[in-house]
Structure 1
C-alpha cells in the first residue's frame, strides 16, 4: 500500500530522492569554506569532493594530487575537498617547511585514523599514532633504527639477497620473470627474518604463509580502497560505523607469530640482533641503548608500556610497510634500468668495482661507497614516491606565515609529494629518469623540501635506513649477476595501479634477465 501517492514505486522514488538530497546537503555543507577564507580552490563534485577519480578507481591518489599541484602554478596553497572535508594543499616550500619542521608541534598528527576497537594493530602502530603517545613511542623506537643497528642486521639482509639470485636462476623461464611478485618475495623474506628471526619462505615456497598474509594486507579491492580513503580523509566514518581495514584473521596470525617468536627466544635465550630483539629489550627494560650517544639511555619516554597489541602493532607495521615500500622501489628501479642501458651499465661497473675491492663480498661499508647506486635509488624515489602525499592536522588555530589565511583547529593540510617531485622548476623534464639529478652539485642547487619520499622533520620515516639497505642490497646482487632488459610484454609507459594508495604498478611487470657469464 502506498504511503503518499497512489503508486508505491513513486513513494519509494520520492523517499530515495529525499535521502539523496539530505546526503548531498550534508556532504556539501563545507564546500564554501575556502571561498569564505579567500583561498583559491578546486571546484568539488557532489559526494566525493575532488576525489571522484580516486574512489571510482580511475586514477591513483598521487596522480590526482599531482595534477592539482601542477594546475595551481604560482599559488602558495589551494583548497581541495575529500568527500565533505576541506583540506589545504600547500605548494610553497616555505609553507611545507613550516608544517613539517618549523611549526611541527602544531602539526604533529596525521589525519589518518582507524577504529581502535575494530582495528587495534593499525590504530596502535607508530605510523597511525598521535599526540604525546606518538612522541614518547618514537623516542623509544628511534634507537632501533640507528646505523649501528642496521649494520648488525646487514648479514641477514645479504643472505636474502643471495637467495634472490638463486631464485632468479631457477625460476626465470627463457630469462623472463614477473618482477613485482619476485621483489615482493625477496622483501617478505628480508622483513620476516629481520623482524621475527623466521624464514619467510617466500623465495623458496610458492605457498608461503607469510607471503599470502602480506598480500592480504596490501592488495586493494574497490571496498578496501574506499575504507583506506576514508581512513585518510574521513576517519570519523570508520569510527562511527566500526569498520576495519585489516582482516581479523590476518591480525590474529600476526599475534600468534609475534608471541610464539618472543616466547621461544626468551625460553632459549636466543639473541639475533634483529628488530624483534630490540622490541623485547624495550618491553623488558623500557629502552634500547642508542648507538649514537655512547650507550647512554634516554628514559624520558619510560612511561610508555610496550606490551600486548601495542607490541604486536609495531612488528606489524615494520613487516607490512617495510616489505611493500622496498619491493615497489625495487620494481620501479629495475623497470627504469631495463629501459636505460647506459645507466644500468654505469651502475653495474660501480657495483663490480666495489665488490672487487671486497673479495666479491657485499658488505655494509661497501654499500655506502656506491655513490651512483644511491643516486639511482634516489631518482626512483623522486619519480615514484611510494607514499605520494603527506597529511598533517592543525592541533590549534594557525595563521599561514606571510598571509591572512587562518586554519581552524583540526583542519587538514596536504603536501603533494609527487607534485613537488614533478615540478619542472625543481626537476627539468620531470618524466625523464636521470640519476644525475642527485649529484652533490645538483642537490646543492635545488631548494630544500623538494625531495620528500620519506617525509621530513621529526616525523620523517623511522625505517628509512632499513628500506634503503634492503633495496640497495637487492639491486647489488641482481645487477652483479644479471643484465636486465624489457620483454615483449613490458608496458611502456608504465601504468600506476588506481586501487592502491601507495604508488604501485598496475599488474605485474615482465622483464628479461640475462645471466652474466
Structure 2
C-alpha cells in the first residue's frame, strides 16, 4: 500500500514539475506590459490582439510580433544591426544547397555572401540577360496558343520561370515547355511539394531550428541536389574546355570563384571573415536563383493573371498601355520599366534593444527573442490601406500611396539590407510575361476559375487550394 501511495505521489510530483516547466515563463510578456494571449502548454499561441506589439510563445520560447509599420521599418532598416539574423538556419554540411542560401545565412557569412551576390542583380546585369528572357517569353506564348483549353496557371507559369532560371542561372536549355513533362519543371515541383513529411520538416525547421539541425534534416532531397549538381558540373566543364564566357548568372558566380582563388592566396576577405568561394557556393547560388524564380515569381504572376481575368476593364487598360509602347518599336528593357499602370498592377498584387511603443516606458527585447513582422496582415490592414482586399491598381498611381511603400506598410520583398536581392529580376520576368500575354491573348475565366482565392493554410507561400484555372484565347 505504501509503495502504491509513493508511486502516486511521485507521478503527481512529476506531472506538477512537467507542467511548471511548460508554463514557468507564461507571465513573461505580462511582466513587461505587453499585450498577449495566454498560450496553450506546448502548442504556444497565434492569437494577435489589435496592438502595435504583441507577445506570443514559440512553443516555450517568448517571441514578439510587430504590427506597427514604423516599428517594422526600424527593425528592418534603421536598427537593423540589432536584428540582422534570421531565426531559421540549416546546417550547410547536411543541406549544402539551402544551407548556403543567402536567406538562411547569418552574421559574417551572410554579410560576405550578400556583398558578393548583390552586383549580380543590378540594372546592368538584368539588362544583359533581358534578351534571353525575351526568347523564353516567346516560347510561353507558343505554349499558350497550343493550349486553348483551360490551364492550371501556376503550373504553366512555373514552366516559364523555370526556363528563364535554366537559361539565365544555369546557362542551358531547360526544355521546360516539353510535354507532357519536363524534368527540370518536375524537380522544381519536388522542392516545393506540400506533403505530410515536407510539412513536418518545415514546421521543425521554423519552430525548432536547433532540433532540425540536430536531426540532420534537409529541405532539398539528394535527388534534386544530384540533378542540379550534375547540370552545373557539365556547364563548368564545357565552358572550361571551350573557353566560353557568357553574360549569365552562373558565369558571374564562376568569375567570383576565380577571383577568390586569385586574391590573397585563394581567400576572399571581409572585415572579420575569410572564405574561399567553392563549387558548392556556385551551386547554392544557382539553385537560389532557380528556387526563387520558380515558385515565388510564378505564384505572383498567377495572382496577377487571375485578377486581370476577373477585371476585364483593368486588363484592357494594361493592354492598351503595352500596345502604345510597342508602336514605337520593340519592347526594350527601358520601355518595360516605363509602363506606370502595369507597374501599379504589379504593386497592388506584392542584442538587447529598446523600443518606444507609446507606453510609460520603453520595452526591452532580449537578445535572441524571435521577432516577427506579419507582412500579409500589415498589407491587408484597413488602418493603412483603404479597402485593402479590392484589386485597385489606381491606388498606386497616387503619390501618397506610392510614398507609403517607404513607410513600412508595403513589404512584399522585405526592406533594408535583408530585402530580396532578386526582386528586380522577378519584376522584370513578370512584366515581360504580362505584356506579351496581353498583346497576343485574352485572359479569360473558365468553369474552374474560383470566385475568390481560397489560400491553402498548409502551404508556406500564398497559394490557392487546388490551383487557379484560366483560359488564354488568341486575339484576332
Structure-2 residue corresponding to 1:109: 85
Q: CA deviation at 1:29?
A: 4.6
Structure-2 residue corresponding to 1:411: 369
Residues 116/90 of structure 1: CA separation in 2 closer, same or farther (3 Å cut)? same
1:331-355 Cα offsets, whole Å, 9 max, x none, are 0001111111111110000011111
1:393-445 Cα offsets, whole Å, 9 max, x none, are xxx12121354311111111101111110111221111101011111423256
Residues 40/204 of structure 1: CA separation in 2 closer, same or farther (3 Å cut)? same
Q: Distance in 2 between matches of 1:260 and 1:180?
A: 30
Q: Distance in 1 between matches of 2:53 and 2:399?
A: 30
Structure-2 residue corresponding to 1:162: 138
Normalised TM-score (structure 1): 0.84
Structure 2: gaps (5+ residues): 262-267
Q: Is the 8 A contact 1:29 1:84 kept in 2?
A: no
Match of 2:62, SS state, is strand
Partner of residue 390 from structure 2, selected from 432, 438, 442: 432
Q: Is the 8 A contact 1:24 1:47 kept in 2?
A: no
Please say if 1:311 is aligned against 2:287: no
Q: Is the 8 A contact 2:53 2:68 kept in 1?
A: yes
Q: Distance in 2 between matches of 1:258 and 1:93?
A: 42
Q: Is the 8 A contact 2:250 2:282 kept in 1?
A: no
Q: Distance in 2 between matches of 1:250 and 1:134?
A: 24
Structure-1 residue corresponding to 2:265: none
Residues 226/168 of structure 1: CA separation in 2 closer, same or farther (3 Å cut)? same
Aligned length: 460
Please say if 1:456 is aligned against 2:432: no
Match of 1:81, SS state, is strand
Q: Is the 8 A contact 2:53 2:66 kept in 1?
A: yes
Partner of residue 40 from structure 2, selected from 25, 42, 45: 45
Partner of residue 369 from structure 1, selected from 338, 350, 353: 338
Partner of residue 422 from structure 1, selected from 380, 393, 402: 380
Please say if 1:328 is aligned against 2:328: no
Structural RMSD (CA): 2.5
1:476-503 Cα offsets, whole Å, 9 max, x none, are 1111111112111111111112221111
Q: Which runs of 4+ in 1 moved over 4 A?
A: 17-29, 298-302
Structure-2 residue corresponding to 1:397: 352
Q: Which moved more, 1:441-450 or 1:80-89?
A: 441-450
Q: Distance in 2 between matches of 1:88 and 1:133?
A: 26
Q: Is the 8 A contact 1:85 1:234 kept in 2?
A: no
Residues 172/28 of structure 1: CA separation in 2 closer, same or farther (3 Å cut)? farther
Structure-1 residue corresponding to 2:264: none
Q: Is the 8 A contact 1:49 1:84 kept in 2?
A: yes
Match of 1:31, SS state, is coil
Q: CA deviation at 1:21?
A: 8.2
Q: Distance in 2 between matches of 1:20 and 1:340?
A: 59
Residues 489/23 of structure 1: CA separation in 2 closer, same or farther (3 Å cut)? farther
Q: Distance in 1 between matches of 2:246 and 2:284?
A: 20
Structure-1 residue corresponding to 2:450: 491
Q: Is the 8 A contact 1:222 1:499 kept in 2?
A: no
Q: Is the 8 A contact 2:145 2:473 kept in 1?
A: no
Structure-2 residue corresponding to 1:342: 313
Match of 1:186, SS state, is helix
Structure-1 residue corresponding to 2:60: 84
Match of 1:347, SS state, is helix
Normalised TM-score (structure 2): 0.91
Structure-2 residue corresponding to 1:245: 219
Partner of residue 354 from structure 1, selected from 325, 341, 345: 325
Match of 1:112, SS state, is coil
Match of 1:399, SS state, is strand
Structure 1: gaps (5+ residues): 6-10, 52-66, 288-297, 382-395
Structure-2 residue corresponding to 1:35: 30
